[in-house]
Chain A
Amino acid sequence: MPFALETQELTIRFGGHVAVDAVSCAFEPGTLTAIVGPNGAGKTTYFNLISGQLKASAGRVFLHGQDISALSAPQRSLRGIGRAFQLTNLFPNLSVLENIRLAVQSRAGLGHNLWSIWSSHRALITRAEEVLETVALTAKRDMAASALPHGDQRKLEVAILMALEPDVFMFDEPTAGMSVDEVPVILDLIRGLKTQSDKTILLVEHKMDVVRELSDRIIVLHNGALVADGEPAEVIASPIVQEAYLGVEVAK
């Protein structure tokens, strides 16, 4: 089976510091891979290298077998790599609906249309409203994104990713800072994605119960290097994970 996404020896150095150290890993379509590791392990940086926000010092990224290492972030996004950010990253003064509609519009390839009125493209708005419904934000559609409470901003962040309909979904701590009753909405969305067999999901998450339940596979990053890779139960039980990551997290 061809891999949906693959990184070969992916490396980035900031001065003398190696933030991501020769990570080789391949992701099959239809699987959810959790990426765990202590803070500063390079998880978000690894994401940035895949989605193109950072350029790798060495190594390659392949999407569906094609080398995309030289492509920019917007080009990778158009090819099907979708990214939700750890620190909420919205269009603060635009409405909640517009935040999503812009993602729908990008997918529809309408960005360079100068002569039509944006609101005449009803289908885009309808689609954005559908996505808004899935994260239960319909009532707040006309609010400025910056006026949303933190939990809702996290939901909007995920909704934007959904609206892009990528092949590869990258969630960077999607439930961070959410209240307990808000978390299930996000988890349901991710579960829903898993049922679509062709989607590849990468998830950075600290909550081990979430990781255990959702993931088909766990990889562990430590000091930028891939230190463990396998079935969830097996990885969680491995000594290196107990020491490098879980020991710290469980103690909290």
Chain B
Amino acid sequence: MLNHLLSGDLPRSRVLAVVLVIILAGLLLTPFIFPGAKALNVAAKICYFIVLVASFDLLLGYTGIVSFAHTMFFGIGAYGIAIALTHMGPTWTGVAVGVAGALVISLALSLLIGLFSLRVKAMFYAMITLAVASAFMTMASQFSDITGGEDGLSFKVPELLTPGFSLREAPFLGVSLDGKLITFYLLIAVTVVLFLLMLRIVNSPFGRVLQAIRENEFRAEALGYRTVSYRTSSNVLSAMFATLAGALMALWMRYNGPDTSLSFEIMIDLLLMVVIGGMGTLYGAVVGAAIFIVAQNYLQELMKVASGAATNVPLLRDLVHPDRWLLWLGLLFILSVYKFPAGIVGKLRLGAWRKRTAQPGA
């Protein structure tokens, strides 16, 4: 049953399995064990980033395509929800129209980019996606009548998802059962479903062809696989999932603007999360997103504590000053990429595989 749900792609490392269970349990229990709006926001961000990072891994890790336009599709999903709900009011029809419209636009754009530019060399493809993404970002801030420009759009969501909605008057285990909580659990549920869908895709016969293309495109062609068609499909699928991640983000934040969904900063974070988690593993998306986002949000606080403890040590005090948190985040990532080139998941799986094959007699 579990094997089927995970498409036969089990964690294959006891440590990884434990880490994944901890992440899932941590997310599910966040409202009860980590009180406060910040913790809930961080947990929600981990959720939609799992979808976003996994969709990027489908493209980068499984198919070997380097694209810088991934946040564009994330943005399309977020703008779809934002624009639809702004114009149609906080209705479920609005949500449906927003998601459907965004999916259609992403489909058309990714198909177009794929068909026109997947025939060129990887480097040029990356450049083209960079250009398209920049153009899209400029358009998003220029057409301010529709997109809200640099300010973005704040909008209302359907009542069920608002903090004003209450399922029960009395709090449950000290947590009020409001719309925010419902949204949070819906977000987790959708994340799990989308993740399992992607896991199925990469473990399907189609997903196996993608990996073959990543390994040796020339050979894949000689076997009869029309690689342009596969690469385009991968491009489209990955864009669809990124769009859905964007829609989830917008529904959670009840706001969208260029900085929250389109900026290149997100693109860089995305690349880091894929690499840290482990390219071509999909589980790496879960681990990478969780670690990165927690570090991004809590490293500064951790350093505040450390800095307070080191007030009397001159050099150390400055080094662990909360303002230096980006320096440490950077160092942490350089180290992790250097020490685990296959990412955390790749490293864990390799270790488990060595242990299995190192049995006596084998």
Contact = CB atoms under 8 A, between A and B. Distances in A.
Interface of A: 51, 53, 72-75, 77-78, 83, 85, 89-94, 98, 101-103, 105-107, 110-121, 160, 164
A53 B222 contact: yes
Contacts of B7: 117
B216 A113 contact: no
B324 interface: no
Interface residues of B, number: 28
B200 A111 contact: no
A85 B220 CA distance: 13
A74 B208 contact: no
B86 interface: no
A111 B221 contact: no
B215 A117 contact: no
B200 A117 contact: yes
Nearest to A78: B224
| Secondary structure dominating the interface of B | helix
A90 B256 CA distance: 46
B280 to A, nearest CB: 9
19 contacts: A53-B222, A74-B221, A74-B224, A74-B226, A77-B222, A91-B211, A91-B215, A93-B215, A94-B211, A105-B209, A114-B200, A114-B201, A114-B204, A115-B204, A116-B205, A117-B8, A117-B200, A118-B203, A119-B203
A77 B223 contact: yes
Contacts of B204: 113-118
A137 B233 CA distance: 34
B75 interface: no
Contacts of A106: 223-225
A107 B149 CA distance: 52
Contacts of A53: 218, 221-222
Given A118-B205, A119-B8, A121-B205, A91 B222 contact: no
B165 interface: no
Interface in B192-212: 200-201, 203-209, 211-212
Nearest 8 CB-CB pairings of A with B? A77-B224, A91-B215, A106-B224, A78-B224, A113-B205, A110-B205, A106-B223, A74-B226
Interface of B: 4, 7-8, 200-201, 203-209, 211-212, 215-216, 218-227, 230, 233
A224 B60 CA distance: 41
Given A53-B222, A106-B224, A118 B216 contact: no
Contacts of A119: 8, 203
A181 B340 CA distance: 40
Contacts of A101: 208
Contacts of B206: 111-114
Contacts of B220: 91, 102
A91 B212 contact: yes
B224 to A, nearest CB: 4
A85 B221 CA distance: 13
Contacts of A113: 204-206
A3 to B, nearest CB: 22
Contacts of B218: 53, 89
Contacts of A72: 221, 226
Contact of B212 (A89, A102, A117, A121): A102
Contacts of B207: 114, 118
A118 B208 CA distance: 8
Contact of B4 (A73, A83, A117): A117
Contacts of B211: 91, 94
A194 to B, nearest CB: 23
Contact of B223 (A75, A102, A110, A114): A102
B245 to A, nearest CB: 19
B216 to A, nearest CB: 5
A144 to B, nearest CB: 10
Given A89-B219, A94-B211, A102-B223, 19 more contacts: A51-B222, A73-B222, A77-B221, A83-B222, A89-B222, A90-B219, A91-B212, A91-B220, A92-B216, A98-B208, A102-B212, A106-B223, A111-B206, A114-B201, A117-B203, A118-B203, A118-B205, A119-B8, A120-B8
